[in-house]
Amino acid sequence: MGITRSMMLMLGPFVLVGACYGLSTPRGTAEIRNLAEKAWKATFPEEGPDPEGTEFPDLGKVEARPRSSLQRPSLFSRPSIIADEVTFGSSDDEEPGSTTQQASVGGERLTTQCERTADLLREKLPSECGVIVRAPFVLGGDGTEAQLEEAYEELIAPITRTLSRCYFDTPPSGPITVLLFSTDQSFQENAQRFDRRKRQEYYGYYLREERRVMLNTSSGGGTVAHELTHALAHFDFPEMPEWFDEGLASLHEEAEFADDGESIRGRSNWRINHLLLGLRRGQVRTIAELLEDPEAVRPKLDAVDYAHSRYVCLYLQERKLLTEYYRALRDGHSADPTGRRTLEALVAPKTLDEFDREFRQWAVKFRPISWRLLFETQRL
């Protein structure tokens, strides 16, 4: 029995991944389904769901989500990035003149708007909360001003700088409010205070109309990066298709800065489990359907659709096409609102169907993540 169990533990993940791919094609059979179920139970005997029964827990929800992260924490150790250095687009060789003067005037106007927003925020937050202005951001929360300054320097400024270099050319023209709460209780109380929301299942959200980010910072830096992507994209590409908006934001839930700090790269994370299960059950649409379906996130399959969108963005990133696709999609949106023709041109001479098949072959090479390992990591 010991030898058999050891063999199953060693070979189980490989059998499962192979079965996921097989079941995403017409070759999937009941026999492979049974093998996949046995492999899963052998690999995760105490935690794995029955593939035909219980769903994976939705780790996007606060009850069951591991800490999301931005790797290379040394880049957060007092980086040489201050408010004046958070720039958008390329302006290194800009000639002195009217453009710079206009930017200066615009910056002063934005700072004034941020100060007004901060005054209103102080009236609404409990008296013990801190508020600081680092235009275009107004930061508030249950920490001191010194703690908010640290959050700005170690998270918000570096994330903003790298996202703007990778994607966003248009700077925010209005204040972005970022509220950070260090405990779930504080987050829930303030979600109710500001938005009359009942208990929030998620660690953060962005309100487009208010240009406000609400964050439970106990989830780690990845949640900050996710919501900041939404907020900054709002100014640079307000018409971004929903699937890409969610895919690009969730890509940064688990990410790392490059060694030079000039770019940010997504990494695989817990959403791979939802994608693999969706492939196994035939719930993952083709990439063409993902782009063209007006319902980008299906209510009963939202975990699968978020995972699909995220991993399409990760696939584009790994092929060094993500930044190019973002800019081409943004610049050509009026002529190609779904982004299908833009993607077809980018991957040519391959067809979109060929690109989709290659994406699936790539996706099923990932190993599903142990829930127990994730939660043990979170408790450390």
Query: Residue 63's pLDDT is what?
Result: 32
The DSSP symbol for 131 reads E
Tokens representing 247?
A: 């895919």
Show Cβ contacts of residue 349 under 8 Å, excluding neighbours closer than 6 positions.
Answer: none
The residues that bridge with 299 in the sheet, in sequence order, are none
Instruction: Let me know: does 378 contact 67? Beta carbons within 8 Å.
Output: yes
Q: Which candidate, 212, 159, 169, 222, places its Cα nearest to that of 190?
A: 212
pLDDT at 261: 72
Please tell me the predicted confidence (pLDDT) of residue 222: 78
Which of helix, strand or coil describes residue 142? coil
Backbone φ and ψ for 324, nearest 5 degrees, come out as -65, -40
**Would residue 223 be called left, alpha or beta, if left means φ above 0 and alpha means ψ between -120 and 50 degrees?**
alpha
Q: Are 36 and 51 in contact (CB under 8 A)?
A: yes
- Give the orientation angle of helix 340-347 with respect to helix 352-363, to 10 degrees: 80
pLDDT of residue 197: 80
Reference 327, options 258, 214, 236, 229; nearest CA is: 236
pLDDT at 369: 80
Q: What is the pLDDT of residue 196?
A: 85
Question: Which pLDDT does position 262 carry in this prediction?
Answer: 80
**pLDDT for 263:** 86
pLDDT at position 363 is 93
What pLDDT does 134 receive? 97
Write out the two tokens for 244: 């890409």
Residue spans of the domains in the chain: they are 2-43, 59-238
Q: What angle do CA 23, 322, 75 make, to 5 degrees?
A: 110
Residues 6+ apart with CB under 8 A from 137: 114, 152, 156, 160, 175, 176, 177, 178
Residue recorded with tokens 């093998």: 35
Nearest to 203 by CA among 273, 266, 253, 268: 253
C-beta atoms surrounding 26 within 10 Å: 7
Give the dihedral sign, CA 33/311/364/370. negative
Q: Does domain 59-238 have CATH number 3.40.50.150?
A: no
What's the distance, Cα to Cα, between the start and end of the chain in Å?
33
CA distances from 157 to 119, 135, 164, 214, 365 (A): 22, 11, 11, 17, 35
pLDDT mean by block of 10 residues, the chain; 380 residues:
51 48 40 39 47 43 42 31 42 44 66 97 94 97 95 94 95 96 91 83 85 88 90 97 96 88 88 91 95 89 95 97 97 96 97 96 87 45
| Residue 84 CB coordination number (10 Å) | 9
On the CB side of 116, CA atoms within 13 Å amount to 8
> Can you give the pLDDT at residue 135?
96
